[in-house]
Chains A and B, each alone.
Chain A
Amino acid sequence: MTARTVLKNEWRLLMADRPLKIALGLFVVLLGYALTNGVVWLRFQERTVEATTSGNVERASALRQELEAIEAGGQPSSPFADPRSPRVLGGPSGSHTAVLAPGPLTALAIGQSDLLPYYYDVNIYTNEASFQQNGEVENPLNLMVGRFDLTFAVVYLLPLLVLALSFNVLSEEREQGTLALTLSQPVSARSVVTVKLAFRALVVAGIVLGVSLLGALATGGFGSPGRILLWSVTVVAYSLFWFALAAWVNALGRSSAWNATVLVGAWLVLVVVLPAAINAAAGLLHPLPSRVEMVTAQREASNDAVNRRSELLARYLEDHPEMAEGVVADEPGLGALSWAATDAVNGRLEEVAAEHDARRAEQTALVRRYRFLSPALLAQEALLDAAGTGDARFADFQSQVRVFAEQWREFFVPAIMADEQMNAGVLADVPTFSLVDGDSADPACRATAPLAVLAGLLALIGAAAGVRLGRVRGAD
């Protein structure tokens, strides 16, 4: 009896087992539904991205027209919004929207993309408080419950299908009395179970990867093959983990009912209970400082700054001697005074934000350490990273926007300090944001540790199962 015979028979058995066929069919339907949801969401985000891009172009061309009209002798539309003033041209009415295009595989994993902001209007007033904004308009109820996307189906439902397919691979043969017969052939229990599970793994992983690739194909995700590879490796490793667990439990030689109870218990603990417990532990051991303090700090800094404008200007010029040249020392313009105050507030906000971020990083590090306890958390993280909808890509985007805001200020602030006027000629030199998207090497690098742990768990349980199965004799 060769592996081929086992495979052939398994296929026949599968085709004859109606409940199993129904379960598989239902799984395919659910995956299809999950993918549709992801695609709808991706299209929604793409429309917004397009609108922000055309908004940038429209704003720039309106400013150009107005500046050219003024140069030709016209009047600004409002004395408070004279685009020749660097505070206006670089301010909110001239702002540039920096946008993060949806992750290459957003259709497969909505992830954090419904919660975290993916575009910011950048102008000279952009500071740490500007990053405290809401993302997409979304019913908080929907954010709380979460979406039915492929990641959800993989992390939660795939293990259940795996367990349903394999909780009795060996125990059933024993219960039906066919085990002795099978093992009287020149095969070992180990190879029978391996082939049976390999067949099931092929079916399950084939379905999930098929749907994933279809999704990637439909949404242009093939532009990043590295990410697709990472996604596929994670899906395969995660499903193999559950197959290995089923093999090990089967090798213990108990009844099918016992196997089922233990495996469902394992699913419940690893997928539902542990992630929640880890989050709670992280919250208790490393409580996040509240952002509420940031509001108060900002307020106090700006009250203080407004009262000490002149003093702050003097200090600002000490810190930035290169700016001092254009400023009339004894009669600084209103713009210079007000900028000095803004700069002081920004500085204070940066301090508060840095403190907050340091404590947040501590908490995140803790959660990241404990996530090794739950394969579900490991898989989720790797899948989101692969899709480009995890925390890392949003954090990277935010830091790029920070750099861009700095460039923006460097462009306009000298003119503010010197009380200079701008003209249409400078528009071509105004900085624009272009995202440097970390190529797939970056997410792969981040996913190395979780994938390695997942592979380690898989190898450990697989080896234990192999040893146990080696001892199974037909006569037990």
Chain B
Amino acid sequence: MIHHIVRKEFADMIRDGRFRWSAILVGSLLLVSLAHGWVQARKASQEHAAAQATAREHWETQGEKNPHSAAHYGVYAFKPRLALSFVDEGVDPFTGTSVWLEAHRQNDFLLRPAQDATAAQRIGALTAAQVLQHLVPMLIILLTFGAFASERERGTLRQLLATGVGWRELALGKALGASGALALLLVPAAVAGAAALVVANPGPTASPLARGAVLAGAYLAYFVVFLALSLAVSARARSSRTALVFLLAVWVVNGLVAPRVAVDLSKRVYATPSAFEFARTVEREMADGVEDIAPPDRDESTKRLLAEYGVERVEDLPINAVGVYLQESEEFSNRIFDRNYGALWDAFRRQGILQEVLAAAAPSIAVRTLSMGLAGTDVEQHRHFAEAAETYRRDLMRQMNGDMTENSLTGDFSYAAGAELWESVPPLEYEAPPLGWVLGNRILSLAVLGAWLAGAVLLASAQVRRAEVA
């Protein structure tokens, strides 16, 4: 019996002109956005790889100079575009793409692509994620708001039930029929996406296919939530019009209102300092130290070295005391940076977590978070790269100061190292975090989306059971 229902629903839908047109629109937007995203991601990926190679070349060919001058010269790090970023560009347009790794300072990531775009571009970017998160649910609503309500209005529901088909079977049949119709546009997109990953990987990522599979699963769950909600509303609503109005209201709140309200709330609860205050605090703490973090004392440091080496004068030290002091300053400033940047990142993380919790009111927030996480374009993975770059900077400074300490004497400013030292520094090689790390970060969203899934399915079965025939 059920396959008759499925076939009938499926045939109804693909014969319906409204569905055909909206499905063609959504399907082509999905394919175009995938292609667009892929082209952009590949271009950015190649540019960044080229720039990173040039930066390395600059470092290696900087000529003979004092290691501390080389430390000031520093290197640039460019954030790689990860493979799946073509599906969801996430926060990438709003994070910087490059950072200067130099002596004494942890710099900010600069060059946010969004700063070069116009205000119009903030109204909406056409990415596959946007289509999947907003337009496909709309399509699901349009397909199914009348599933029960229209049949009831036409009086065909009574006839249908008179044939002996159960409510559950009927609901399942309608759900499967709609899924079949949706599969016509979603499966080709998924295949195209997977093919793009396999054939011409646009960028590096640990296990892109596994990430892609989980990503597809998350979206599938999100669609089932909408399908179940829509059927539940259709079963209970007095008329198909009421069902449509209610579902549209849900859609507006889910996709438009709730995410923005969540942003405002998270900002109120976990406030961040202004850029001005932040810079001032770092500057002040760098000058005077803070709490138990004191700036290194140069005389103290020299005295300790003299005692250690059992000599009277700095000139007699077998090492360069300046190099030791420079390294001590680095260690000091690193603690100041860790303290301030750490607090800022933590505030961002808390804001993100609060928004994940608020996904209880709007599943789009949960699926958005998962989507960005799996695509490697969320704030946490930006931080992961930022921290890798900062660790690299600190290692680099340690090597430069160490070389200066060991190979020159205090007060000798003529010492110059060469290409051999520069080449001995390994290039920055970034490894994107594995799938487990991403999912571990996103347990909350997984749970909330799971709860939505279970809740929506239960609601649908309860509402269908209690539905009225006429």
Interface pair B51/A141, CB less than 8 Å apart = no
The distance from the CB of B167 to the nearest CB of chain A, in whole angstroms, is 25
- Quick one: CB contact mask for B277-288 with A, threshold 8 Å, 1 for yes? 110100000000
Question: Using a Cβ–Cβ cut-off of 8 Å, how many residues does chain B contribute to the interface with A?
Answer: 86
| Cα separation A290 to B42 with both chains bound (whole Å) | 13
Residues of B within 8 A of A368 (CB): 118
Residues of A within 8 A of B44 (CB): 290
Interface size class on chain A is 35 or more
- Residues of B22-59 at the interface with A, using a CB-CB cut-off of 8 Å, are 22, 25, 29, 32-33, 36, 39-40, 43-44, 47-48, 51, 54-55, 58
Residues of A within 8 A of B110 (CB): 132-134
Interface pair B351/A280, CB less than 8 Å apart = no
Interface pair B124/A276, CB less than 8 Å apart = yes
Q: Does B273 belong to the interface (CB within 8 Å)?
A: yes
Interface pair B51/A296, CB less than 8 Å apart = yes
Interface pair A299/B58, CB less than 8 Å apart = yes
- Quick one: CB contact mask for B378-396 with A, threshold 8 Å, 1 for yes? 1100100000000000000
The distance from the CB of B75 to the nearest CB of chain A, in whole angstroms, is 10
**Known contacts A144-B93, A276-B126: does B58 contact A303 (CB below 8 Å)?**
yes
Q: Does A436 belong to the interface (CB within 8 Å)?
A: no
Q: Does A138 belong to the interface (CB within 8 Å)?
A: yes
Q: Does A90 belong to the interface (CB within 8 Å)?
A: no
| Cα separation A368 to B252 with both chains bound (whole Å) | 27
Interface pair A280/B126, CB less than 8 Å apart = yes
**Known contacts A51-B276, A292-B111, A296-B54: does B47 contact A134 (CB below 8 Å)?**
no
- Residues of B336-362 at the interface with A, using a CB-CB cut-off of 8 Å, are 344, 347-348, 351-352, 355
Q: Does B3 belong to the interface (CB within 8 Å)?
A: no
The distance from the CB of A364 to the nearest CB of chain B, in whole angstroms, is 6
Q: Does B445 belong to the interface (CB within 8 Å)?
A: no
Interface pair B263/A136, CB less than 8 Å apart = no
The distance from the CB of B446 to the nearest CB of chain A, in whole angstroms, is 18
Residues of B within 8 A of A380 (CB): 119-120, 123
Interface pair A261/B18, CB less than 8 Å apart = yes
- Quick one: CB contact mask for A29-49 with B, threshold 8 Å, 1 for yes? 010010001001000100110
Instruction: Name the residue on A nearest B114 (C-beta).
Output: A115
Q: Does B228 belong to the interface (CB within 8 Å)?
A: no
Binds A, one of B94-102, B194-202, B432-440: B94-102
Q: Does A266 belong to the interface (CB within 8 Å)?
A: no
The distance from the CB of B444 to the nearest CB of chain A, in whole angstroms, is 14
Q: Does B78 belong to the interface (CB within 8 Å)?
A: yes
Interface pair A37/B264, CB less than 8 Å apart = yes
Residues of A within 8 A of B121 (CB): 279, 367
Interface pair B55/A275, CB less than 8 Å apart = no
Interface pair B352/A112, CB less than 8 Å apart = no
**Known contacts A132-B110, A160-B252: does B260 contact A147 (CB below 8 Å)?**
yes
| Cα separation A257 to B97 with both chains bound (whole Å) | 49
**Known contacts A145-B263, A273-B29: does B115 contact A116 (CB below 8 Å)?**
yes
Interface pair B51/A137, CB less than 8 Å apart = no
Q: Does B408 belong to the interface (CB within 8 Å)?
A: no
Interface pair B94/A376, CB less than 8 Å apart = no
- Quick one: CB contact mask for A130-165 with B, threshold 8 Å, 1 for yes? 001111111111111111100010011100100010
**Known contacts A116-B115, A292-B97, A377-B120: does B263 contact A272 (CB below 8 Å)?**
no
- Residues of B227-279 at the interface with A, using a CB-CB cut-off of 8 Å, are 240-241, 244-245, 248, 252, 256-257, 259-264, 266-268, 272-278
Complex partner residue of B123 from A133, A275, A291, CB under 8 angstroms:
A275
Complex partner residue of A140 from B95, B118, B126, CB under 8 angstroms:
B95
How many contacts A-B (CB < 8 Å)? 208
Interface pair A136/B123, CB less than 8 Å apart = no
The distance from the CB of A2 to the nearest CB of chain B, in whole angstroms, is 32
**Known contacts A140-B91, A296-B55: does B116 contact A288 (CB below 8 Å)?**
yes
Most chain A CB within 10 A, of B40, B121, B259, is at B121
Interface pair A284/B39, CB less than 8 Å apart = yes
Most chain A CB within 10 A, of B54, B98, B275, is at B275
Q: Does B7 belong to the interface (CB within 8 Å)?
A: no
Q: Does A295 belong to the interface (CB within 8 Å)?
A: yes
The distance from the CB of A60 to the nearest CB of chain B, in whole angstroms, is 17
| Cα separation A383 to B240 with both chains bound (whole Å) | 37
Q: Does B135 belong to the interface (CB within 8 Å)?
A: yes
Q: Does A278 belong to the interface (CB within 8 Å)?
A: yes
Q: Does A264 belong to the interface (CB within 8 Å)?
A: yes
Complex partner residue of B48 from A143, A272, A276, A292, CB under 8 angstroms:
A292
Residues of A within 8 A of B48 (CB): 292
Q: Does A443 belong to the interface (CB within 8 Å)?
A: no
| Cα separation A254 to B97 with both chains bound (whole Å) | 53
Complex partner residue of B272 from A115, A139, A164, A376, CB under 8 angstroms:
A139
- Residues of B115-156 at the interface with A, using a CB-CB cut-off of 8 Å, are 115-126, 130, 134-135, 138, 142
| Cα separation A368 to B78 with both chains bound (whole Å) | 31
| Cα separation A156 to B40 with both chains bound (whole Å) | 28
| Cα separation A286 to B124 with both chains bound (whole Å) | 18
Residues of B within 8 A of A326 (CB): none
Known: A139-B272, A276-B123, A290-B97. 5 other contacts (CB 8 A): A111-B119, A146-B260, A275-B123, A279-B126, A287-B40
A-B contact pairs, 18 of them (CB 8 A): A44-B274, A134-B275, A141-B379, A143-B91, A143-B114, A155-B123, A257-B241, A275-B124, A276-B125, A279-B117, A279-B123, A280-B126, A292-B98, A294-B111, A296-B51, A367-B118, A376-B123, A377-B120
The 6 closest A-B pairs by CB, nearest first: A280-B126, A140-B91, A276-B124, A140-B94, A148-B260, A276-B126
